[in-house]
Amino acid sequence: LERRAQNGPGVAVVNPFTYRSAMVRVAETLSATQFAKLVNTMDGSEEIETGPQLLFLGPYDKLVAKSSAVSLSNTEYVLVTNKLNGERSIVKGPCMWFPGPHDEAHTGEAVSMSRTEFIFVEDKLTGDRKTVKGPCVWFPEPFESASKKYNAIVLQEDEYVRLKDKTNGKRWVQKGK
């Protein structure tokens, strides 16, 4: 049984002896910031069509969802997880982000730090920890998470601070500059 789609405008003449049924489907209008998720009912494949366009569905296409792209400012990002293979990636703004057919997204805000602020960053995949010092705007990598922001101790030339490393008990003095 063959299916076919004929896109309009136009006239379709159907031979009553060679077809079982016919239906009229309205094309979907996608603006520049919209996308549509389609499923092919014949083979189960999924695809994303982005605007702007007048979207004509194929003979086996089914419209699953129609939505808007994610608008990112220059301090926002999207953590994208591919549900098919588990791959993760970060998309930084400014941009309009359109998902892939198997993408799941979580938006986040970058950490903006002044000269006297810092954060601790842990890579959840490897367990590595590092310190990121300001001034900067920090965006995470796919498996990183950040602590809250801390304020550094600012020392004048005639000031000092005594420090102790809790892991090995080592002590030292840090002088101001």
Burial class (CB in 10 A: 0-12, 13-18, 19+), 106: exposed
How many residues are listed for the chain in this entry?
Answer: 177
Whole-angstrom Cα distance, residue 119 to residue 113?
A: 9
Q: Which residue is it, tokens 């076919």?
A: 4
Using 50 as the pLDDT threshold, list the residues of the chain that sit under it: none
Q: Give CA–CA dist 67/50, Å, rounded.
A: 10
Identify the pLDDT of residue 54: 94
- pLDDT, residue 89, reads 96
Torsion of CA 138, 140, 145, 148, to 10 degrees: 10
For residue 1, the model assigns a pLDDT of 58
> What is the token pair recorded at 115?
């000269």
The pLDDT value given to residue 15 = 78
Quote the radius of gyration of the chain (alpha carbons, Å).
27
